[in-house]
């Protein structure tokens, strides 16, 4: 008998796990936003759909979709500047923005073999909103990223369907963001502990412009021995509780900001997020897909400009450094929040990925004098 499939829709956390700052793990020197989440950037919304069944046999499901609505309003007729960076491109994705430098749809995350299904969901969402697409308007470029959850989930089942992407979009809200094994992060593994979704934000000082930058990651990467928290090599001390099934993983990083940046600057910003990942011990192994996408909500670009010259506001390159620092800090903290939100998960063929033992982590950090108490 097929195990009962549970579909869970989440926008806000169901039960609050301790986050980095709750435990005195303070990354960097910059202030976070009210939610310490990508949703601190006004207009950004996040929704999750998790597909989980009761089975631990060969057809167990531990997968899902995470949808990020990048701004309020009409994305088709009010597009956003965007930029991307690929650190290690061993992976699948939909939606190339290298030439256009714009984002015109929500962004979705899912498992490796569900990119096509989720892309169809985004397309159906946009077609329903805009009847002229593909008729008198151009076709669109939906953006979907993936990580491989096959160690815990029967990825061959193709369980994620277009309607799950639509449900994730319907669930998208501002405010607190559910973290850990939810949505696209349901079956992910990070540093050989339970991985998944994490988020963090930074707010620049008034003198630096007062801009907000938020990061959301789907973490499915890293070797235990390289794990670092606040510079302490904690992974070398937490050598047990390893999964039997290990593979090269991936990480997807999304960055949103209200700073007025154009696509070239946003690509540069996306690169700096990878420095934050490196601080946690990320290496970008051969089989890993490590990508970042950044966008700005400051300028809205018409689909068919009436004038040949657009009037947009763009921050001077000489004022980018605080945003670069913020991107690295927020990405680093988002990964730590992933691990803290982890829950021990038994999946396909009984494969088990353990949650990070928070008490032992804190003991290690105290020994290294990385935290005060």
Q: Does residue 288 carry a catalytic annotation? A: yes
Q: Does residue 250 carry a catalytic annotation? A: yes
Residue 86 CA from chain centroid, whole number: 14
Which residues of the chain fall short of a pLDDT of 50? 1
Residues paired with residue 133 on neighbouring β-strands, in sequence order: 137
Other C-beta atoms lying within 10 Å of the C-beta of residue 13: 16
Counting beta carbons within 10 angstroms of the beta carbon of residue 213, is it exposed (0 to 12), middle (13 to 18) or buried (19 or more)? buried
Q: For residues 199 and 212, is the Cβ–Cβ distance under 8 A?
A: no
146-201 pLDDT, tens digit each: 999 999 999 999 999 999 999 999 999 999 999 999 999 999 999 999 999 999 99
Reduced to 3 states (helix: H, G, I; strand: E, B; else coil), residue 267 is helix
pLDDT of residue 12: 56
pLDDT of residue 1: 40
Q: Are strands 193-194 and 196-203 parallel, antiparallel or unpaired?
A: unpaired
Q: How far is CA 87 from CA 84, 213, 287, in A?
A: 10, 21, 12
Considering 50, 290, 296, 364, which one is annotated as catalytic? Answer: 290
Domains of the chain: 5-367 (3.60.70.12)
Distance, CA of 63 to CA of 183 (rounded, Å): 7
pLDDT of residue 40: 99
- Read off the pTM: 0.96
pLDDT of residue 17: 87
CA angle 11, 12, 15 (to 5 degrees): 135
Considering 201, 267, 288, 296, which one is annotated as catalytic? Answer: 288
Considering 50, 190, 250, 267, which one is annotated as catalytic? Answer: 250
pLDDT of residue 15: 61
Counting beta carbons within 10 angstroms of the beta carbon of residue 346, is it exposed (0 to 12), middle (13 to 18) or buried (19 or more)? middle
Distance, CA of 177 to CA of 30 (rounded, Å): 20
Locus of tokens 């829709």: 9
Distance, CA of 77 to CA of 57 (rounded, Å): 47
pLDDT of residue 3: 60
Q: For residues 87 and 59, is the Cβ–Cβ distance under 8 A?
A: no
Q: For residues 287 and 90, is the Cβ–Cβ distance under 8 A?
A: yes
Distance, CA of 178 to CA of 117 (rounded, Å): 23
Instruction: Give every CB contact of residue 110 below 8 A, 6+ residues apart in sequence.
Output: 63, 64, 65, 66, 117, 118, 144, 145, 146, 160, 165, 184
Q: Which phi-psi region, left, alpha or beta, contains residue 68 (left: φ > 0; alpha: ψ -120 to 50)?
A: beta
Residue 357 CA from chain centroid, whole number: 23
pLDDT of residue 4: 61
């Amino acid at each position: 008998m097929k195990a009962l499939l549970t579909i869970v829709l989440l926008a806000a956390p169901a039960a609050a796990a301790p986050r980095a700052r709750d435990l005195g793990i303070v990354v960097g020197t910059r202030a976070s936003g009210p939610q310490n989440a990508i949703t601190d950037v006004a207009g950004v919304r996040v929704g999750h759909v998790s597909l989980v069944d009761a089975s631990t046999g060969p057809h167990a499901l531990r997968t899902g979709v995470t949808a990020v609505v990048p701004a309020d309003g009409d994305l088709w007729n009010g597009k956003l500047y965007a930029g991307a960076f690929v650190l290690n491109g061993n992976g699948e994705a939909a939606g190339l923005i290298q030439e256009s430098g714009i984002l015109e749809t929500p962004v979705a995350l899912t498992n490796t073999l569900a990119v096509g299904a989720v892309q169809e969901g985004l397309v159906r969402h946009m077609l329903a909103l805009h009847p002229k697409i593909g008729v008198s308007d151009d076709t669109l470029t939906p953006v979907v990223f993936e990580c491989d959850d096959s160690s815990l989930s029967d990825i061959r089942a193709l369980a994620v369907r277009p309607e799950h992407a639509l449900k994730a979009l319907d669930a998208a809200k501002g405010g607190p963001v559910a973290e850990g094994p939810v949505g696209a992060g349901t079956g992910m593994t990070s540093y050989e502990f339970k991985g998944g979704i994490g988020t963090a934000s930074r707010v620049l000082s008034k003198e630096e412009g007062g801009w907000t930058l938020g990061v959301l990651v789907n973490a499915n990467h890293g070797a235990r021995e390289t794990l670092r928290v606040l510079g302490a090599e904690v992974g070398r001390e937490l050598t047990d509780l390893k999964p039997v099934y290990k593979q090269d993983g991936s990480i997807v990083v999304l960055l949103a900001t209200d700073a007025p940046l154009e696509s070239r600057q946003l690509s540069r910003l996306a690169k700096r997020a990878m420095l934050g990942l490196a601080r946690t011990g990320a290496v970008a192994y051969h089989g890993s897909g490590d990508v970042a996408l950044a966008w700005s909500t400051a300028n809205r670009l018409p689909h068919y400009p009436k004038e040949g010259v657009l009037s947009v506001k763009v921050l001077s390159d000489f004022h980018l450094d605080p945003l670069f620092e913020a991107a690295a800090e927020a990405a680093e903290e988002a990964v730590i929040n992933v691990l803290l939100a982890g829950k021990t998960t038994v999946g396909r063929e009984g494969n088990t990925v353990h949650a990070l033992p928070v008490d032992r982590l804190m003991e290690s950090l105290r020994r290294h004098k990385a935290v005060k108490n």
